[in-house]
Amino acid sequence: MAIDDNQRSREAVLARVREALGRHGPDDEPRAAAHAYLAARKQGPRPTLPADLVQRFLQRAADMSSTTTRVEGIEQAPAAIARYLDHPHARAVCWPEIAALDWRGAGFDVDVRPASGDDAIGITGCFCAIAETGTLVFASGTDSPPATFLLPETHIAIVRADQIVAGMEEAFARQRAERDALPRAVNLVSGPSRTGDIEQTIVLGAHGPRRVHIVLVAAR
Amino acid sequence: MYFKERAHAKLHDAQLQASLARFQGKFVPARKTAITELDDFEGTRDAAAEIRQRALDDLDVWLTIFDENARARGATVLYAQTPAEINALVLEIAQRHGVRKIIKSKSMVSEESGLDHAIEAAGMTVVETDLGEYILQINNYEPPSHIIGPALHKSREEVSALFEARHGTPRKDAIDELCLEARGVLRTHYLTADMGISGGNFFVAETGSVVLVTNEGNATLTTTLPKVHVAISGIEKVVPTLEDVATLMRLLPRSATGQSISNYVDILTGVKDRGEFHGVEHMYFIVVDSGRSAVLGSDVRQALRCIRCGACMNHCPVYQNVGGHAYGWVYPGPIGIVLTPMYVGLDNALDLPYASTMCNQCGVVCPVKIPLPDLQRKLREKEFERDLRSWHERVGLKAWGWLARRPALYGVATRVGVRMLRTLGDRNGMIRRLPFGSGWTDERDMPAPAGRTFREQYKARKAASHPDALAVSVQGKPSASEAREGSRKETLG
Ligand code: SF4
């Protein structure tokens, strides 16, 4: 079978690549150079960002068609979300980390489970958020299921001010600092799902959320 | 049928011309604005070109590092030498996991191998999820015309009619209603598919990950909901680090659609945690050669830096007039006319390297600085060396070469030539019909020469010893392309 036999294709492809590069003999030297490059973590030129990363994040998120609101403390998030939804008896699903908030008190019901295709509203936290581009960064895991920010028409993300980093580079550095290896999925999401495939006319909600609402919790 | 015939037909296709006219207004100005957000755009381009070239220069090493890291995370890394092998591997993976329905996010490499047809021939269902690709799929697999917007050549009316016929729903005319209808149809497929197939914008060596970039989020859904994920991309798509991905992602969306960032960027590594509800249980990479190692060993190897942003075609005066289908294969535009002859054989794409005005718009906008006109010229030279050009072209070029090496004779011949051409000009100094050159004058008039060659004028002015005598008469500061144009005129004289 082709899969079990694939070692032969692997060797043939690598041999052709070596041939094309004019590489004969051992590759210890380029390998050492490659590992040195990996260790150096070289970055490209970075755009200068304003000192106030929170402000920049909110502005960029809005540019990407997310809506935003600010609250002073996390306990105010349910009421802020209720105001945004403006719908009595709304039902939502959420990540476990925010399950303990007083959703009932804000007037709606929240199930703590990954979203299915039938859920209209998904509420999540995030791993971190990127000021440069107004991007939410998610790291998949048991308590951070991606379905909740992918399947519902409305996605609401709660972001703490101390989760905002400058660029993708800092988001990756945080991943490295907090865990040994990348999770199965790191999803970088900037605003609602969109398409321009018919006459280049932008339509929101192509497959995923039509609305992304960000609740920013001020740092203490 | 070659490019020339197809291009001719496309120029007279009113529907297509209307779509192309609509298309031009958007990507080009959007890119122009978006790149101003980077205070060192040129420096970022240099860095990006370096990143891609570094990966290519030691491709064997980076591939091996990628392979080791991907395997360590539980992925299966497979290699395909040919398009047929891609299809065979995919079918076998599908059989292994008892797959009946496959959802697919955009993969150009799978277009090279006609993967969808192979899947259907094996009795399985495959559904393209990128809206553009989906539109083409339900239109009997019409070929894509652009690497970013595969269905940009289609009008809303065509899509309306297609949806009405295929979905059996009442006709919808508004674009947002059409998108909503497609969303509903595709959502059902996402939730019921057994396997997801994606391309791969980058393979990250340090982590063994694949990076997927979309605006619709279709790749994210395709790789989150089914239990099996197969990522298919070329050997050249390896980049060393996540930092490199960050740099390239500052350029890819800006160059493609003029966005600061694409809406979804997914970095996928290995299989799901035990506790995860969704997430793939089986992750396969198919790393494809299929002509790429041959390009790597050729003198057009820089073409492998390409990150498939589409900027070169958006800015190409030839593409803008004939659209993507005229190029006849998967990759259109300036990058296509380099890659296609290399992948399908120069003999099968003889006039593609000529589908260029050599204006270098493509080279100027390419985020990884591929010198596209140089590569096109190299292919032209190869054709000439291999005697693949027509006899009158070969004889003509030989004669010109002979003449050009004899400056005195050349001077006489051009002096006679320009004077003769001048007599063909009408009162406005335009030539309406050129003997032996009707291919040119059928569509446009040609300005008649001034009657004296450049060298004659140069000599005359030098004799007058005017301080500006030696300057070519270009007003103001010439742009790079004007300067090049100027130097080309000089060599003609
Ligand atoms: S050749 Fe350059 S401009 Fe063209 S698609 Fe590739 S990266 Fe983009």
Question: Which of A141-150, B350-359, B387-396 is predicted most confidently?
Answer: A141-150
Structural domain contains residue B191: yes
Q: What is the pLDDT of residue B471?
A: 52
Q: State residue B381 phi and psi, 5-degree precision.
A: -65, -40
> Is pLDDT at B473 greater than 70 in this prediction?
no
Q: Does the beta-carbon distance from A13 to B79 stay under 8 Å?
A: yes
pLDDT tens-digit map of B96-132: 999 999 999 989 999 999 999 999 999 999 999 999 9
**Could you tell me the end-to-end alpha-carbon distance of chain B, in angstroms, rounded to an integer?**
37
Q: What is the mean pLDDT of residues B4-29?
A: 84
Chosen for mutation from A137, A155, A186, A195 (greatest number of chain B CBs closer than 10 Å) is A195
Q: Which atom of ligand 1 is nearest to the CA of B333?
A: 4
Whether residue B76 is predicted with pLDDT greater than 60 in this model: the reply is: yes
B182 and B244: one domain?
yes
Q: Does residue B443 carry a pLDDT above 80? A: no
By alpha-carbon position, which residue is closest to atom 6 of ligand 1?
B306
Cα pseudo-dihedral B93, B99, B105, B108, rounded to 10: 40
B122 and B245 together in one domain: yes
B428 and B469 both lie in a single domain = no
Q: Which residue has the higher pLDDT, A132 or B395?
A: A132
- Side chain identity at B342, as an amino acid letter? M
- Tell whether B309 is covered by a domain: yes
Which of helix, strand or coil describes residue B247?
Answer: helix
Residues B423 and B367 occupy one common structural domain: no
The stretch B278-293 carries a mean pLDDT of 96
**Lowest-confidence segment of A85-99, A144-158, B222-236, B423-437 by average pLDDT:** B423-437
Residues B397 and B272 in one domain: no
Domain end marker among B387, B407, B435 = B387
SS3 label, residue B442: coil
Closest-CA residue of chain A to B295? A20
Q: What atom of ligand 1 comes closest to residue B303's alpha carbon?
A: 1
Residues B100 and B226 in one domain: yes
Gap from CA of B376 to ligand 1 centroid (Å): 14
Cβ neighbourhood burial of B237 (10 Å; 0-12, 13-18, 19+) = buried
Best residue among B306, B327, B331, B376 to mutate for probing ligand 1's pocket (most ligand atoms within 8 Å of CB) is B306
Q: What is the CATH number of the domain that holds B274?
A: 3.40.50.10420
Per-residue pLDDT band for B425 (boundaries 50, 70, 90) equals: confident
- Count CB-CB contacts under 10 A for residue A93: 24
B99, B162: one domain: yes
Q: Is B375 in the pocket of ligand 1 (CB under 6 A)?
A: no
| Chain B contact for A75 (CB, 8 A cutoff) | no
pLDDT tens track for A196-216: 999 888 999 999 999 999 999
Q: Phi and psi dihedrals of B373, rounded to 5?
A: -60, -35
A184 contacts B209 by C-beta, under 8 angstroms: no
Kindly state whether residue B3 falls inside one of the protein's structural domains.
Answer: no
Note whether B65 contacts A34, CB cutoff 8 Å: yes
pLDDT band at B226 (very low <50, low <70, confident <90, very high): very high
Q: Which residues of B touch A2 (CB under 8 A)?
A: 85, 88-89, 92
Taking a C-beta distance cutoff of 8 angstroms, is the pair A165, A174 a contact?
yes
Q: How far is it, in rounded angstroms, from Cα A168 to Cα A166?
A: 7
Quickly state the pLDDT bin for B485 (edges 50, 70, 90): very low
At B169-196, the pLDDT tens digits run 999 999 999 999 999 999 999 999 999 9
Q: Is residue B308 part of a domain?
A: yes
Which atom of ligand 1 is least distant from the CA of B147?
A: 5
- Examine residue B25 and state whether it is found in any structural domain, yes or no: no
Same domain, B415 and B279: no
Provide φ and ψ at B123, rounded to 5°: 90, 10
In this structure, is residue B31 part of a structural domain?
no
Greater model confidence, B152 or A96: A96
Amino acid code (one letter) for A58: L
Instruction: Please give the span between the terminal C-alpha atoms of chain A, in angstroms, as a whole number.
Output: 60
Q: Are residues B191 and B66 in the same domain?
A: yes
Rounded to the nearest angstrom, the gap between the alpha carbon of residue B409 and the centroid of all alpha carbons in its chain is 43
Evaluate whether ipTM surpasses 0.95.
Answer: yes
Contacts 24+ apart (CB under 8 A), B397-406: none
Q: Where are the alpha helices (DSSP H) in B193-314?
A: 218-222, 242-256, 292-296, 311-314
Q: What percent of chain B has pLDDT over 70?
A: 94
**Domain end call among B258, B290, B322:** B290
Confidence of residue B479 (pLDDT cuts 50, 70, 90): very low
Look at residue B295 and tell me if it is in a domain.
no
Residue B221 resides in a domain: yes
Average pLDDT over residues B231-253: 98
CA distances from A108 to A116, A147, A156, A213, B291 (A): 19, 21, 14, 17, 58
Domain hosting B482: range is 456-493
Sequence spans of domains, chain A: 1-42, 50-217
Looking at the fold, whether B271 and B377 belong to one and the same domain comes out as no
- What are A98-152's pLDDT values in tens digits? 999 999 999 889 999 999 999 999 999 999 999 999 999 999 999 999 999 999 9
Number of independent structural domains in chain B:
4
Last residue of a domain, one of B367, B387, B407: B387
A4-60: pLDDT as tens digits: 889 999 999 999 999 999 999 888 999 999 999 999 999 999 999 999 999 999 999
Residues B377 and B403 in one domain: no
- Please give the CATH number for the structural domain made up of A50-217: 3.40.50.10420
Please tell me whether residues B400 and B268 are part of one structural domain: no
